[in-house]
Amino acid sequence: MKKASLIVLLSALFPLAAFAQVDFIIEYEDAQGYGFYDTTPVSPIGGNTGTTFGEQRRIAFEKAIETYEHSFTSNIPIHVQAHFANNGGTTYSAVLASAGPEWFLFNFRNAPLQNIAYPSALANKISGLDLSDSSQGIADIDVEINVDVDGAALGSSSFYYGLDGQSDYYDLDFMTVISHELMHGLGFLSVIDPTTGHKFGCGSGCSRNDIGDVFSTQLARVVDNTPIPLLSMSQSDRRAAATATGEVVWAGSIAEPVAQTLFNGTNQGYPLIYTPSPAEYGSSLSHTAFEINPTAIMQPAYSGALETSAINLAMLADIGWGAQVADLEVHLFESNDGSGLFTAIVSNNSSSTINQVTLDLSTNNGNIVPATSSNCSVSGTRTTCTLGSLGSEQLMSFDFNVTGYSGLAEISATLDADIVELNANNNIAVGYVSASSESSSGTSDTSERSLNTGQSESSTSTTQTSEPRVITESGGGSLNIAFLVALLLMLGVKQHKAAYALALSRNSKNLIK
């Protein structure tokens, strides 16, 4: 365990977007001149403007996290500690990175299942409390990256730090690797020991069968066309299941319909889990299988630059990160007459209704004044409005004014709901209004508004609407998943520390570390 004084001396804290659905705080643990602080000069690449190795690594790491800021909701910030290490490798293979939760907690406040361990970031979301024990460090996720990938390992291959996913054939997209590892840290991993069958595997002397983990509650072996939960099996049957290639599946109810969109990699309609023979400790049961097509980012080996895949997001929803997977979208349209009148167009690009949708509006200059005061709360320059339920393929418009601004004002709109967001790039929008804009004597504006559907809506907006308006046109969204096949280089899963301690803290929570 790292000493707190060492962390304070050698790391810096970087809070990310202020109005994200969940805030991440990154703690870079490397010493000056190494890893995230490597001063080796480099040229900007693929939208990454950093001019040293260290700066480019930090920029790409934070860009990878941005997606997750708008994919999940939590009132408790997620603390991530990250560092580089010399983990070596050969000309042909290397562990690129490893990650995992720093803490597992069970039987905490509001825990849905008893005697089931949850990664601390998820336990914090569910309980509404920051349950991390500050006496042993506050990080929820630990990420270790192999610095030798940029050195002697893997021959001429190295990490690609561009932000555009356009790595060369032999280079390794850093953002894809970090996205994969962050999902492990959020709870995409089983702590079943595939070599012994223990429910909670943590090495010699502490493995146990009285506690399971939330990820493993969704794992099942298909026997006679019926999925049998792994946690309900005997230890010996569980060990046998861990190497039953093509038979272990993810049986979660949210991921099941998403699995119907896969071209390959299912058994009885459920997505396959990676179960090689012999078992691979730290990889077996903690990834989706290679057979899944389109390729999922949580397969056990790197295969090219990938976006976070729908099936893997649905699996995180199954363990508690959201009530469903969905795609909310928002656009901002300004009246262009200098009045500060804006319309937000909100759409549900999903196949099911999304409940309790909220719209968060903020500005860096002036105030947000909703055209209707109902279901809206104002706090300084930030306004939050409850839109309620939004049906499948439904659009809704919402009018508001920006007042009291001078010069140029920036307005941001963020959608929020208890979902795992399929397309985190479109549930936020930014608009601008300038005091020098040409004014109009009228109180309304008729404009042609382009929507993401390829359709357009001609409408008249005024400041006197009483409620958000439903638009009858519908639109759809799709997840752009890259299909790239390249080197197969193993990605590791950090195994929750070599030893664990079981304690009852002052917050009356059970803790495993």
**Residues 98, 45 within the same domain:** yes
Residues 24 and 123 reside in one and the same domain: yes
Share of the chain above pLDDT 70, in %: 79
- In this structure, the answer to whether residues 279 and 235 fall within a common structural domain is yes
Residue 423 lies in a domain: yes
Position 11 scores a pLDDT of 36
- Note the pLDDT of residue 51: 98
The total domain count for the chain is 3
Are 454 and 383 contained in the same domain? Answer: yes
Domain extent, residue 45, equals 1-189+493-513
Degrees to nearest 5, angle at CA 29 with 177 and 59? 50
- Is 323 inside any structural domain? no
Residue whose structure tokens are 């947000």: 368
**Are 268 and 349 in the same domain?**
no
Task: At 182, list the tokens.
Answer: 């962050």
Q: Would residue 194 count as lying in a domain?
A: no
pLDDT tens for 150-176 read 999 999 999 999 999 999 888 999 999
Model pLDDT, residue 330: 94
Q: Is residue 225 part of a domain?
A: yes
Backbone angles phi and psi of 293, in degrees to 5: -140, 125
* Range with the poorest average pLDDT among 17-21, 311-315, 360-364, 484-488: 484-488
Statement: residue 509 has pLDDT above 80: no
Contacts of 162 (CB under 8 A, 6+ apart): 45, 46, 47, 48, 60, 173
- Does residue 34 lie within any of the structural domains? yes
- Whether residue 206 is found in the same domain as residue 177: no
Residue 84 in 3-state DSSP?
strand
- 375 and 269, same structural domain? no
Q: Quick check: is 236 in a domain? A: yes
Same domain? For 1 and 131 the reply is: yes
Are residues 388 and 297 part of one domain?
Answer: no
Q: What is the CATH number of the domain that holds 373?
A: 2.60.40.10
Taking all residues of the chain, what is their mean pLDDT, rounded to a whole number? 81
Q: Are residues 121 and 233 in the same domain?
A: no
Query: Long-range contacts: 437-444, Cβ < 8 Å, 24+?
Result: 437/336, 437/337, 437/338, 438/336, 438/337, 438/338, 439/337, 439/338, 439/339, 440/335, 440/337, 440/338, 440/339, 442/337, 443/339
Residues 148 and 5 in one domain: yes
Looking at the fold, whether 172 and 219 belong to one and the same domain comes out as no
The reported pTM is: 0.79
In this structure, what DSSP letter does residue 439 have? P
Over residues 433-463, the pLDDT tens digits come to 887 543 333 333 323 333 332 333 333 333 3
What per-residue confidence (pLDDT) applies to 513?
Answer: 42
pLDDT tens across 364-396, in order? 888 898 886 668 888 888 889 898 899 999 999
